[in-house]
Every structure is written in structure tokens, then in C-alpha cells.
Copies of this chain bind each other. A is one copy, B any other.
Amino acid sequence: MTAPGARRATRLKVLPEHARAHNRSLVLATLFHDGAMSRADLARATGLTRVTTSDLVGELLGDGLVVEQGVRQGAGPGKPAILVDLDREGLQVVGLDLSDSREYRGAVIDLTGAVLARRALPRPADGEAEAALAAVRSLATELLGAATRRVLGVGVGAPGVISRDGVVVSSPNLGWFDLPLQRELRELLGVPVHVANDANVAALAEHTLGGASGDVLVVKVGRGVGAGVLTRGELTRGSRDAAGEIGHVTVGTDAGPLCACGRRGCLESWLSIRSLEERIAQGADREAVLRDAGERLAIAIAPVVGTLDLSEIVLSGPADHLDGILRDTAVDTLRARTFLHDDVQVRMSAQGDDVVLRGAVVLILDGELGVS
């Protein structure tokens, strides 16, 4: 009955110090999501005792991650509480978004979400690996210099297949194959770096900042079409780190437009912004084009919605194309093609053009502080 070959990497021993780290992250996450509160409030929120909470807060104060904000004003009897909070304005993150069709974008963002500085560089031509890497190095260095306070880390969202440890396994757009970008930037910059797929980063943003549920599919429509899947609140990476690569899945049983990849009927050939605009420019009826795109999107994701029992789909990309006819058609088609999913939501992202940059903050919060 045993299966000796089935090695599982997740099976690791747990020591008391791991519990400590977990509870530390728990305190940080509680502050991040619920805002400033007293040590006693934190104890109630986490279930830990006041004593333990106080000890953890002391440690976090020492690490400069948390700050005291003075006493709470006029609140009932008892000794007034000293509010503590994540040092939201004293901690900053550098985010890079390499998924835009025209430029590499970057920003310095603090933990309130405020964008403190922006930089951009024109995108090198597809496949220009060296130029792309030089641009990223330059952008990261400049933004790190533009930070005004302590930088927790640099988060990068890039198109392509990216491994858990930040190796760009394959990114035709960027011309990178097996490039250990995370390690390279880490050595160049001297601060923690996390690199992940752009759509996956967008999914993190939707979940942690946008309040999306723990089971959500984020579809990012731009140059291409990518997705990020969260189940149980955690990112799904897949067996080869290629989870979310949905752009070149064939949709429907009736051929369809020719895709750049050489096949017919890929989701991307129906839905990418370029495809939409090309077909409209060629004289096709705009409404019909958007309706088709919405329908095809739903046809593609209906099996995913059914299999994973998703209740929420988030669309990220230009609202003028995605919101309205396209989304409405997608909802209708999805409900018609699935079972038990009459209430499935298909909504636009509220994160705007900065999804990936904001997601980079989440990438760092999760990777460095264990906050998600």
C-alpha cells in the first residue's frame, strides 16, 4: 500500500522557533489588515495572550517594523492604550512591472499604498535579452536610490514562466530563458528581491489589497492574456511553475482566428487587447467583437470555475474594453455553461493600471514578513 517513490518536499519538521515566526507574522498581518491597535487588542485578535503579544510587539519594535503611535484618546475606563501599527510610512517597497506593452514601469511605494516616485524606460524589442536586463537593472537601481526610507525589498512582476525562487524559466517577450533574475538583482542591489509572473502578482494584489476571496481567478488582459489562481488564499504555481498560462489554450470547437503562436482559436487571439483592436480596426463591429471575446473568455474558464468551484473572477486590464459588453457577455455565458454557479461574480479589478506595482508590495510583504 505504500508508495515509496512519492517523495514530498512539503514534509518538514516544525520547531518552536517556527511557531514563533508564524506568530510574529500573525501579529504583522493583523496590524496590516485591521490597522493600528493596542497590544491588548492584538492579543484579542490573534488569540495569543497579552504577555506573548507584548513580547512579540517588543521584538517588532526593535526590528523597526512596528511603531508606537501614542495613546488612544477618550475610550472608556482603564489605563489608556498605546496604539501600535506597522510602520506604514517608514517602510517602502520598490515595484517593477515588465508586462506593459510600451515601457518597463517602476515605482517606490510605501505600505499605505502611496506611490512616492515613478520611473519608466522604453521597452526594448522582443527578445533583446541584454537590453531588457540592462533596463531592469537601471530602473531598479534608480528607484532604490529614489526611496526616502527603509526599503523592505524589490518586487518584480514579469511575463513568462517564473520559478518559485525567482528564476525566469522562459519569457519569450523579454528574451530570457533560465535567467536567475532574483539572485542577480539581489546581488546588485543588496536588498531582498522577489520575482514572479505578472498575472500571479496581480492575483496577489487582488486578494490582499482588493479583498478578493481565497478562491479566485484573476485574468490579466494586455499584450497577452495571463491568469493567476488562488486556492485557499495561496497562489497556485503548478507542476512546472507555469500555472496561469492560459493565453494559448484553444477555445471552442470551431477553429477561430490565427494566433501569433501559429495555431487557431487560442484565447489570446480572441481576447488580447491587440487582437480586439486589430479586428475593430479591420472594420468589424465593435460590439460583436467584444461580445465574442467575452463569450470565448467564459468558454475557456467555465471548466476552471466548475473544477475549482470559484465564486469570483477578476478582470484586470483596460476597462474601456473589458468592462461593459465583454464582461456582461462573460457572466451570461459562464452561468449558462456551468452548474451551481448562478452567483459567480465577474468583476473588474479596482487596482487600476498599478495592479502589478501594488502587487509587488504584497509580494514583498508575503515573502519578507509572511503577511498575506
Contact = CB atoms under 8 A, between A and B. Distances in A.
A112 interface: yes
Number of copies: 2
Output the residue of A12, A308, A310 with the most chain B CB within 10 A: A308
Contacts of A328: none
Interface string A228-267: 0101111011111111111111111110000001000010
Contacts of A249: 302-303, 306-307, 337-339
Output the residue of A34, A232, A234 with the most chain B CB within 10 A: A232
Contacts of A254: 253-254
A8 interface: yes
A111 interface: yes
Interface residues of A, number: 90
19 contacts: A1-B113, A1-B209, A1-B361, A2-B32, A3-B208, A3-B210, A3-B211, A4-B34, A161-B340, A229-B307, A237-B309, A239-B312, A242-B340, A243-B309, A245-B340, A246-B307, A249-B303, A250-B302, A254-B254
A245 B307 CA distance: 6
A242 B309 contact: yes
A308 B234 contact: no
Interface of A: 1-6, 8, 10-16, 18-19, 22-23, 26, 29-30, 32-35, 46-48, 88, 111-113, 161, 207-215, 217, 227, 229, 231-234, 236-254, 261, 266, 299-304, 306-312, 336-340, 358, 361
Q: What is the predominant secondary structure among interface residues of chain A facing chain B?
A: loop
